[in-house]
């Protein structure tokens, strides 16, 4: 079954709304900048979302009850709903829902609730904080704000979360459990995130350089990006503007070290997910929305893609040099795939100066024209989950 993307909503470090986001992909403008909060935690750079227009989309009474992550999610959702024209007379609200992927949820609120309980006992744990501290708070509040009474699910699978949400949404639509779903990912920078990155290491103090020979780590970022997803036949029937179509999906899993990737078993399972997604037609992939984040894993990702495409590596870019890395950056890469298909333009890889042979001719340094009807969006998450999507140009 084919699934149509009929709406896009995005809050990102390089722009809020499709137009700003796509224009930044065209120009290579980066959202990575000096960051005061990050500097206090031990690293000086981050990719934060600036003013995202919450007051333009959310009533003041509702806004006061929403933590920042939920605000980001609701703004992205309302942009997608507006573009898809999902009025109540289009689809029954009882069959319109949400599948949201989040790696970390609202960590600041969670920490506030837990620390109150731990430090001062149950009486100090705020009953007002608890409902917004749980992992599914953003999806639940989104449904309330947008009056969606259908499926409401939250997927929590580290950096795999947003694309796992897309895969789950495709299954729900195929099974007839919903007619339209808002799908994507949302994660924010917060105090606990800063602390975790500092402890884990692997954070660049000079700038993110995906696939570069001299790369020295990632730069943390944040994102909220959602699409409206429908069965293609339904979208065509109602005359919706179809932005792109999801036509292939492959998944696999393998046991990996807690922080390693591809060790011991190589990248055979990651390659298998790619093979399943392309369904025996690797030649149709004209560009790859890569997940290169300036770490030692970049080359292993490239090798998995090459193996999964039967020894062929199409042009590939990573937009994470512009947006920073977050557990929801996969949703931004999915939007980049739609950009590439609609504009027939591959975004560049910001920060890339010295590509490592033999990949030089395949990594897109500066935005350039391409000719393709199909794009691969891979996700090879630490911890053993692999997923690849094929996104095709709308007819």
Q: pLDDT digit string (tens) for 90-117?
A: 889 999 999 999 988 776 766 665 555 5
Residue segments in the chain with a per-residue pLDDT below the cut of 50: 258, 264
CA–CA gap between residue 305 and residue 270 (Å, rounded): 8
Phi, psi of 142 (to 5 degrees): -60, -45
- Give the tens place of pLDDT for each residue, 144-156: 999 999 999 999 9
CB 169 within 8 A of CB 183: yes
357 exposure class (CB count in 10 Å sphere: 0-12, 13-18, 19+): exposed
Hey, which CATH number is domain 250-393, 3.30.460.10, 2.20.25.90, 3.40.47.10, 3.40.50.300?
A: 3.40.47.10
Which token pair is 14?
């390089």
Residue from 289, 265, 263 nearest 277 by CA: 289
Q: What is the per-residue pLDDT for 315?
A: 95
Measured in whole angstroms, the distance separating CA 155 from the mean position of its chain's CA atoms is: 12
Query: At how many degrees (to 10) do helices 161-174 and 329-343 cross?
Result: 70
Q: Which CATH architecture has domain 3-237?
A: 3-Layer(aba) Sandwich (3.40)
Residue ranges matching CATH 3.40.47.10 in the chain? 3-237, 250-393
Q: What is the per-residue pLDDT for 153?
A: 97
CA–CA gap between residue 20 and residue 26 (Å, rounded): 10
Residue from 80, 49, 209, 69 nearest 139 by CA: 69
Question: 233 to each of 2, 57, 76, 393, how far by Cα in Å?
Answer: 8, 31, 25, 15
Q: What is the per-residue pLDDT for 344?
A: 98
Which token pair is 323?
């947006």
CA–CA gap between residue 36 and residue 19 (Å, rounded): 28
CB 104 within 8 A of CB 187: yes
Phi, psi of 225 (to 5 degrees): -140, 125
This prediction has a pTM of: 0.93
Which token pair is 341?
């298909």
């Amino acid at each position: 079954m084919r699934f149509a993307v009929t709406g896009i909503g995005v809050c990102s470090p390089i722009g809020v709304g499709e137009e700003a986001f796509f224009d930044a992909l065209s120009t290579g403008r980066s959202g990575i900048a000096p960051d005061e909060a990050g500097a206090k935690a031990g690293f000086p750079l981050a990719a934060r979302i600036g003013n995202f227009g919450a007051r333009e989309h959310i009533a003041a009474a509702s806004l006061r009850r929403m933590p920042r992550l939920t605000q980001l999610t609701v703004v992205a959702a309302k942009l997608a709903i507006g573009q898809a024209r999902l009025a109540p007379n289009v689809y029954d609200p009882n069959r319109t829902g949400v599948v949201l992927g989040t790696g970390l949820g609202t960590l600041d609120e969670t920490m506030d609730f837990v620390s109150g309980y731990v430090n001062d006992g149950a009486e100090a744990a705020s009953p007002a904080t608890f409902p917004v501290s749980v992992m599914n708070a953003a999806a639940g509040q989104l449904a309330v704000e947008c009056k969606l009474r259908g499926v409401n699910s939250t997927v929590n699978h580290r950096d795999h979360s947003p694309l796992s949400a897309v895969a789950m949404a495709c299954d729900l639509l195929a099974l007839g459990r919903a007619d339209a779903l808002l799908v994507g990912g949302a994660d924010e920078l917060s105090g606990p995130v800063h602390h975790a990155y500092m402890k884990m290491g692997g954070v660049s103090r000079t700038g993110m350089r995906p696939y570069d020979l001299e790369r020295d780590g990632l730069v943390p970022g944040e994102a909220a990006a959602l699409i409206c997803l429908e069965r293609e036949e339904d979208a065509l029937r109602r005359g919706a503007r179809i932005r792109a179509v999801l036509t292939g999906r492959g998944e696999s899993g393998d046991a990996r070290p807690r922080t390693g990737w591809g060790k011991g078993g190589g990248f055979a399972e990651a390659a298998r997910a790619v093979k399943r997604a392309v369904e025996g037609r690797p030649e149709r992939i004209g560009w790859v929305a890569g997940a290169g984040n300036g770490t030692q894993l970049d080359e292993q990702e490239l090798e998995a893609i090459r193996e999964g495409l039967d020894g062929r590596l199409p042009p590939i870019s990573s937009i994470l040099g512009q947006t920073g890395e977050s557990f929801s950056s996969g949703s931004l890469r999915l939007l980049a795939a739609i950009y590439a298909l609609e504009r027939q333009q591959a975004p560049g890889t910001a920060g890339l100066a010295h590509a490592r042979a033999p990949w030089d001719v395949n990594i897109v340094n500066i935005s350039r024209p391409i000719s393709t009807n199909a794009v691969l969006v891979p996700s090879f998450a630490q911890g053993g989950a692999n997923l690849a999507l094929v996104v095709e140009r709308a007819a």
